Chains A and B, each alone.
Chain A
């Protein structure tokens, strides 16, 4: 399978603390990849680097796009280097991303994410949450909006229709006009996924989507994740602590511990890996009990 996302030598340091040390993995197009590891292993840091919330200290993150590959680290804007001044093309690109780059460009490239602690626009309605996510697709011209031109109205209607489609798929259609903050917790989680989907991503990053859900909701969530892959052609990268969910949905598992990748492979292979067992359960004592 072709890789959609390639992470190579990703290193992230906060001051003297190395949160990630040369992390590397690939996410194949159309796969479900799980990123697991004990608390503090650096999973969310990987996510924040991928989605542009942190600027990686070193390493490359490459997203294969329809028009060629895209370096997700460069579009955040990097400091200029001496060698840039010899190559005007690189210099121009660096200057452009330095001025206009940022995490929003990562989303525009086709990477959407959810958050570990739900981050909805609580005082806005469910539908408005989805419309904000489609900001880049609607008619943003001020005059068109003020005059209510046909093109503007068509774009708005299309956005509402697209939002309703995703609400239907996630089973939230009846809640379209409720305030996002009023929804039950499980619905809020699903709404966040719907909002991420509304940006039209190719890679969907879910940060602990099952946290706080009961077993039945978790099962429904795993069905949903599988359906998103098969019916909507999405590639999914997820962080999860719930092993039953990970084992059920993922094709590929990457295990992180102390900022390093200690294992990767199929769920079955990873489950038997002695290093993974050590990381999760601790070292077995000599001789045993």
Chain B
């Protein structure tokens, strides 16, 4: 693109911006009068013009052209890369560094930001769980929030009726959510695509409505209080319960409410690391391969002796398990659960995590979960435009990188004997 072309292109975009912004920002309703603010659209159009000119200038340079080529390659769809399995030393060091950094993180942050990080990690768990169902097994699930709710309420009600503690609640809720996953799986065995999506959407709503309306058992819209977790019987409260000990008393520290938040963050972080390991392993195991094969072609799967019923149910159950564990941590960190936390918007957000991360890519899902939960907190000043920015990011993603932020990678097998 020559300089003149670049200038004309930028001018075209500026004119377009003027036309769009003119009525939106230029005409302001004041009482019954329309006041014309002609400066604002002109400034915005000038900004667009300048930005486009700058972009054209940058794209004309060497690095810019390389970047454009890379983006174009991603758009072509051929972004699945087959890489050798033997991981280099460099990657292990990066992973160790990341792990240490995230372990040290809570000691440097304020309580508010630790809570944000905890929420982000919960979304990583949910994203990993849904990724098994949608990304690997190709079963579009719009009601994933149901398993999240089962996990959270499993802990809350388990404590109320069965006197379960936090540590017993994790395996209990994982199992409970797996059962719910299988229950959802049975009726939808023969369904695909849109029909499956509608049924799962209904399932998610059913769970929420039951929680909302079965007041005697679940407390209805008032929600349930959830006890805070403890470490080997040590409470994180200011004063110990009868016959108990407190964390700060045992270690002779001054009391701080941060201890509990940091504790939940660290336990959750270890859980996320374990889950990432499990999910990465699962992908390479026979069951993970069968899930992907089921996504690609169910009929071919059956012709190879694979029982598609079992594989489908296992995908639902495994995804639900991870979601249920996420729910337990949500309940523990909030100290309170109510049906209002488990609406369809939540399901849509988790699905957005999986789609943005690239269906099936574990690293992509983790990054997308972190971005989608931390970005809205950073953008709190622009609270009114959050959803707008969110939607814009989605559209841009689908245009530039329809296969997710990172291309998919597949493991290569050693060919030489």
Contact = CB atoms under 8 A, between A and B. Distances in A.
B67 to A, nearest CB: 25
Interface stretch (A3-11, A112-120, A274-282): A112-120
B413 A177 contact: yes
Interface stretch (B107-115, B116-124, B255-263, B291-299): B291-299
A102 B303 contact: no
A177 B289 contact: no
B73 to A, nearest CB: 15
A259 B297 CA distance: 29
A123 interface: yes
Interface string B289-321: 110110011011111111111000000000000
B278 A146 contact: yes
B415 interface: yes
Question: On chain A, which size bracket covers the interface?
Answer: 35 or more
A215 to B, nearest CB: 28
B210 interface: no
B281 A145 contact: yes
A161 B414 CA distance: 10
Interface of B: 80, 82, 278, 281-282, 285-287, 289-290, 292-293, 296-297, 299-309, 408, 410-415, 417
Contact of B302 (A104, A120, A148, A195): A104
B297 A125 contact: no
B181 to A, nearest CB: 15
Closest 8 CB pairs of A and B: A107-B305, A121-B296, A145-B285, A119-B300, A177-B412, A132-B293, A127-B413, A103-B302
12 contacts: A104-B308, A120-B296, A124-B292, A135-B304, A142-B285, A145-B287, A146-B281, A160-B413, A160-B414, A161-B417, A176-B413, A196-B303
Nearest to B78: A182
B301 A132 contact: yes
A25 B209 CA distance: 59
Contact of A123 (B80, B282, B308, B414): B80
Interface of A: 51-53, 100, 102-105, 107-108, 112-113, 115, 119-125, 127-129, 131-133, 135-136, 138-140, 142, 145-146, 148, 160-161, 164, 173-174, 176-179, 195-196, 199
B290 A164 contact: no
Nearest to A122: B296
Contacts of B80: 123, 179
Contacts of B286: 131, 135, 138-140, 145
Contacts of A136: 305-306
Given A135-B306, A178-B82, A121 B415 contact: no
Contacts of A52: 302
A108 B305 contact: yes
A199 B296 contact: no
B76 to A, nearest CB: 13
Nearest to A205: B303
A200 to B, nearest CB: 9
B92 to A, nearest CB: 16
A45 to B, nearest CB: 15
A121 B80 CA distance: 14
A112 B287 contact: no
Given A125-B82, A176-B413, A176-B415, A199 B292 contact: no
B405 to A, nearest CB: 18
A131 B289 contact: yes
Nearest to B292: A124
Nearest to B412: A177
B278 to A, nearest CB: 6
B312 to A, nearest CB: 13
A123 B82 contact: no
Contact of A142 (B287, B293, B308): B287
Contact of B289 (A135, A160, A173, A174): A135
A107 B304 contact: yes
Nearest to B318: A142
A244 to B, nearest CB: 28
B82 A120 contact: no
Contacts of A112: 303-304
Contacts of A139: 286
B302 A173 contact: no
Contacts of A104: 302, 304-308
Contact of B293 (A121, A146, A196): A121
Contacts of A124: 289, 292-293, 296, 410
A160 B281 CA distance: 17
A133 B412 CA distance: 17
A175 to B, nearest CB: 10
Given A123-B296, A138-B286, A146-B281, A103 B413 contact: no
Contacts of A108: 305
Contact of A102 (B281, B290, B300, B309): B309
B305 A119 contact: no
B302 A53 contact: yes
Nearest to A110: B305
Given A107-B303, A135-B305, A146-B281, A120 B297 contact: yes
B415 A177 contact: yes
Nearest to B415: A176
Interface centre among B278, B297, B412, B415 (most CB of A within 10 A): B415
B305 to A, nearest CB: 3
Contacts of B301: 132
A282 B410 CA distance: 53
Given A132-B304, A164-B415, 6 more contacts: A113-B303, A121-B293, A123-B80, A125-B412, A132-B289, A196-B303
Given A115-B303, A128-B289, A135-B286, A121 B308 contact: no
B346 to A, nearest CB: 29
Contacts of A195: 304
Contact of B297 (A119, A145, A177, A199): A119
B410 A121 contact: no
Contacts of A105: 305
A148 B281 CA distance: 9
B304 A199 contact: yes
Contacts of A179: 80, 82, 410
A210 B402 CA distance: 36
A135 B290 contact: yes
Contacts of B82: 125, 177-179
A53 B299 contact: yes
Contacts of B417: 161, 164
